[in-house]
Chain A
Amino acid sequence: MGDYYRGREEGRGGGRGGGPRRSQKRRHRDDDDDDKEYRRSRPYEREDPASRLRRDTISIAESPLTKIEETINLIANTFASNCDSEELRNTFLNTLLSLVVEQPFKIPFLTAAVLVINSRNAEAGKLILDEFGKAAQAYLTEGFLTSAKLVLRFLAGLQGMVEGEGLYFVLGGIVDQAAGYLAAEEVGLALDLVWITLITVPYILASSRSDNSLASELLKKTSSITEVKHRMQSLLSPFTGGYAPYDARAQGTHNARILQLNLEACLGSEPSRPFHGVGCLPRPYESFLQELEGATKHPMPEITLPSDYPVDKSAIMPHVYFSVFADPNVETVPPPLELASTLFRDAIVDTIDTLDCNRLVVSRFLIEIDCYFSPNAFIKRAVPFDRVIETAGPEGSTWKPEDVAVDAIFSQLYKLPGPNHKLVYYHSILTELCKLAPAAVAPSLGRAIRFMYKNLESMDTELIYRFVDWFSHHLSNFGFTWKWAEWNENLTLPDVHPKKAFILGALEKEIRLSFATRIKGTIPAPYKELISEAKEKEQPHFKYDSEDEPFCKEAKEVLHAVADKKEDAEVDAILAKIVELAKESGVADPLFVARDAYVTAICHIGAKSLSHVLSCIERCKEKLLAIGNESPDARRQIVGSVLSYWEDQPGIGANVVDKLLNYSIVTPLSVVEWVLHDAGNKALSHTHAWEMVSTTINKVNTRVRQMVAARRVMSINDYTEEQLAVYAQTLNAAEIEQGVLLNAVTDALTAMSDSSDEMNGGIDVESKAWMQWWAKGWLRAFSRKFGVAEGTVVEQPVGGPSARLDPEDMDTM
């Protein structure tokens, strides 16, 4: 029996885990002893040298308990003396290639090991160097620019074992290309290429052979390129109105420019502290310097740059600096104009981006970030904020590792126009960090939250909503505990003030993840009245149950007829009766009343759950479509009836509308127009209103983008001319719809942000000012979503703005 099961284990090979499954053990207890011995001996004694080397390499620098010199020595010796074995050689090379692009924190430690390998076996060193030359070439050719950047970083660490100017030759070539792209007005790609080049330079400077003069020459070439601004840049800044909660030079500036300035400062003068500038990078090769001196140098492997990069150039947006820590008294993160800031941020962001398949691993890396930089670069973990100065002493670093990690995560969560992964990924990392090291991370998050709250009035509107979304989701993972009392004084602000709107929005979203009674139990007394009693009811009341409601008797008949699944004719008869009665009583729009009765009835029947309302909509689809087809106003009214039924739980109403949109019962325009014209003048400060409009617009934009992408690969060989013509027509229609939507949004928001007195029915001056503020913020956010640069006149030609679309509206807010 034992043989049988082991056979299966081997047969499966390569899968996850590998050891015997517990269930099998339980069922075949006679196997127990065998299994135990097999497992205990497996990881260490029976492991072949190649697997052992792979394991040691992967875990390099992870444990502060193992001396890094010993690990490097071990890896170097094993490879230098066994690289005749093809298996070991391939295993090691593949491990290195994967590690470099998957775990960038480890690159300086890997390059140190390779330098030592080279000094012990020059042939082995050359083998690795050439292999990475090929990898760089391949990544560049295929347009995997982040991977290319990381491979170049690895080669930068090997500068000491290369002849002549080494990597600078390649970097110079890339900068020349960047200049070319700039001339061709491909600003995004040009800045990206410069970024890739410049971020490699500090790693050369920190390598065993630094050469400042070549770096200076390179910087002279990039200086003018980094001064260029991207067309969309002013809309990508996280803060608006020229307000800078941190160093004004970093406000709204793209990362390539900041890096240029930081590098110039580094080359121009000695760092004020040993861990500043390039000094923040680790130099694990230093214990081997003597040995490295006599090592063989090799020619730099030839890397032919591709004539063009196969990337979507219009989609590349510059990254603008963002930080949630800018305490004027204690510098807990390096300021933006300090090279360490750029280096930390870059390495952390790449780690987060590439390892999204395992947020637990990412969180562990971030908690242990101090293992991967110069040992003096950070203050020790979890030092309380008020003891940082005292603990650091006059010479020590005040940079808190958890602040640096949290800061980098928020920079991605708040990246405009959109983050690389779904927002919820960044939520999940912050949650894991708090679970792993609550004492260190929770206070750090608290300060981040207070910083953002303090600056709400100047934050980009989309980011305010991302903040609400993250905050409520985060609290839902930690028992909804927050020190609400510290914001007590803001409760007297008008509801449309960004701070009050944030509080209201956060509570609303908390309720959506939980339920009103529970949330009421987590907040201090003054906050409880923000949650109305109506929210605590399981289902909204059916307004026609009230005798005061006009036509209540007939509306109830509609409800019963639909609930009892009566024939359409019977329902139509009652609706006709309502129209008749409404006409008699002189209602301006009699059809309005009938439609409202019907839609409200469907909402009420489906109130029990989303599945209920979906099946009810499905059942009444034909009739709903017919009602919607009556006129654009009818469609807008359907939206209104749903939201009015779900007045106290607008999140659910918004969901129902989204389903109606999928059935084409309402159109994107009806949703947008209802929010911007009918939802009341506070609407723009409501998170569900933002969600309705942004979800709808994202759907339209995504559809156009997908169709444009599909057309690009539609070959004339696979489709007839007629098919292509039909496709072009559909696409054109979609683009026209997009253009109409853009105009509707722009016109309505422009009017709302205008100071005219059109809509001031008894509104106080302060509220009115904030309403205009929201309108301006929405306008900015949606201009960005439609890819319209600031200051551009919005005039939609037929054909629409498809070529200039927002590359990422992945946000599923």
Chain B
Amino acid sequence: MPITTVQRLDAPSSYFEKRERRRSTSPKPDPLKDASTLYVGNLSFYTTEEQIHELFSKCGEIKRLVMGLDRFTKTPCGFCFVEYYTHKDTLDAMKYIGGTKLDERIIRTDLDPGFKEGRQYGRGPTGGQVRDYYRDDYDPGRGGPGGREQRPVAKG
């Protein structure tokens, strides 16, 4: 029986809703209806696959784990995709793990229609994620200052 008197934590964020709306006006089947993949964000660059596996396997067996990489350096850039075998496990991870800590950072989860080759790379101007380019704070877990502040290292 669906819950109607409180909000759900396993609803997708507006990210895909917005993308879908921009692209077409005709109603399409919901691509997240049976989603078994999660986007996981706000990871430290140093968090390993094993750590992610350790936490997320608390919601069910993991089929595949794809680390997000800086598209230039091919090093982790703070996000990943976790694919489960079932939709239910995926929703459970949204409900029970999203917003808790991994490697001492609050992580963010979002339902994802499924990993496609190419999506493992950061889309920001410096190769990492866009948000790291625009942020103004100093975040030691994500390469220190934001991408705009990072000046190319002087040679010699």
Contacts and interface: CB of A to CB of B under 8 A. Distances in A.
Interface of A: 16, 21, 23, 58, 94-95, 98-99, 101-103, 144, 147, 354-361, 421-425, 427-428, 431, 473, 476-477, 479, 512-515, 609-611, 651-652, 655, 658, 812
A255 B8 CA distance: 31
Interface string B40-63: 000000001111011101111100
A425 B1 contact: no
A23 B18 contact: yes
A303 B156 CA distance: 88
B48 to A, nearest CB: 7
A102 B96 contact: no
B59 A102 contact: no
Interface in B16-57: 18, 48-51, 53-55, 57
Given A427-B96, A513-B55, A651-B54, A357 B3 contact: yes
A514 B55 CA distance: 10
Contact of B95 (A58, A94, A144, A425): A425
18 contacts: A21-B14, A94-B4, A95-B5, A102-B5, A102-B6, A103-B6, A354-B3, A355-B6, A424-B96, A431-B100, A476-B104, A477-B100, A512-B50, A512-B51, A513-B54, A513-B103, A515-B48, A655-B53
Contacts of B104: 476, 479, 514
B58 A611 contact: no
Contact of B96 (A58, A422, A514, A515): A422
A607 to B, nearest CB: 11
B111 interface: no
B1 A356 contact: no
B58 A58 contact: no
A793 to B, nearest CB: 34
A356 B59 CA distance: 13
A358 B9 contact: yes
B7 A103 contact: no
A336 B17 CA distance: 50
Nearest to A431: B100
B51 to A, nearest CB: 6
A563 B54 CA distance: 27
Given A354-B3, A359-B9, A422-B60, 9 more contacts: A16-B7, A103-B6, A359-B96, A425-B96, A427-B58, A512-B50, A513-B55, A515-B48, A609-B67
A812 B57 contact: yes
Contacts of A609: 48-50, 67
B67 A512 contact: no
B101 interface: yes
B50 to A, nearest CB: 6
B130 interface: no
Contact of B3 (A23, A102, A812): A102
B50 A144 contact: no
Given A422-B92, A513-B102, A101 B1 contact: yes
A355 B58 contact: no
Nearest to A144: B1
A431 B100 CA distance: 8
Contacts, number: 109
A423 B58 contact: yes
A16 B8 CA distance: 9
B5 A103 contact: yes
A63 to B, nearest CB: 16
Contacts of B50: 512, 609-610, 651-652, 655
Contact of A361 (B6, B57, B66): B6
Nearest to B53: A610
A645 to B, nearest CB: 14
Contacts of B57: 812
A58 B54 contact: no
A428 B53 contact: no
Nearest to B12: A16
Contacts of B59: 422, 424, 812
A421 to B, nearest CB: 8
Contacts of B58: 422-424, 427, 473, 812
A610 B51 CA distance: 10
A21 B11 CA distance: 16
A626 B51 CA distance: 32
Contacts of B48: 515, 609
Nearest to B104: A479
A144 B1 CA distance: 10
A196 to B, nearest CB: 17
Contact of B10 (A95, A357, A361, A476): A357
A94 B3 CA distance: 12
A359 B94 CA distance: 11
Nearest to B57: A812
For B11, B48, B51, B95, which residue has the most chain A Cβ atoms within 10 angstroms? B95
Contact of B60 (A355, A658, A812): A812
A652 B50 CA distance: 7
A150 to B, nearest CB: 12
A428 B18 CA distance: 30
A655 B60 CA distance: 13
A428 B97 contact: yes
Nearest to A59: B5
Contacts of B51: 512-515
Contacts of A424: 58-59, 92, 96-97
Nearest to A428: B96
Listed from nearest, the 5 A-B pairs whose CB atoms lie closest are A424-B58, A357-B8, A609-B49, A428-B96, A610-B49
B16 to A, nearest CB: 13
Nearest to B103: A514
B67 to A, nearest CB: 7
A427 B18 CA distance: 33
A476 B61 CA distance: 21
Contacts of A421: 92
Find the residue from B3, B8, B59, B101 having the highest chain A CB count within 10 A: B3
A355 B5 CA distance: 10
Nearest to A94: B4
Contacts of B100: 428, 431, 477
A357 B6 contact: yes
Nearest to A21: B14
B134 to A, nearest CB: 14
A651 B54 CA distance: 9
A171 B102 CA distance: 49
Nearest to A362: B6
A95 B7 CA distance: 15
A515 B95 CA distance: 26
Contacts of B92: 421-422, 424-425
Nearest to A100: B5
A350 to B, nearest CB: 13
Contacts of B103: 513-514
Contacts of A355: 3, 6
Given A101-B1, A355-B3, A610 B96 contact: no
A515 B51 CA distance: 9
Contact of B65 (A103, A428, A611): A611
A95 B4 CA distance: 8
Contacts of B7: 16, 358, 361
A400 B48 CA distance: 41
Contacts of A473: 55, 58
Contacts of A101: 1
Nearest to B56: A424
Interface string B109-151: 0000000000000000000000000000000000000000000
Nearest to B92: A422
A52 to B, nearest CB: 15
B4 A357 contact: no
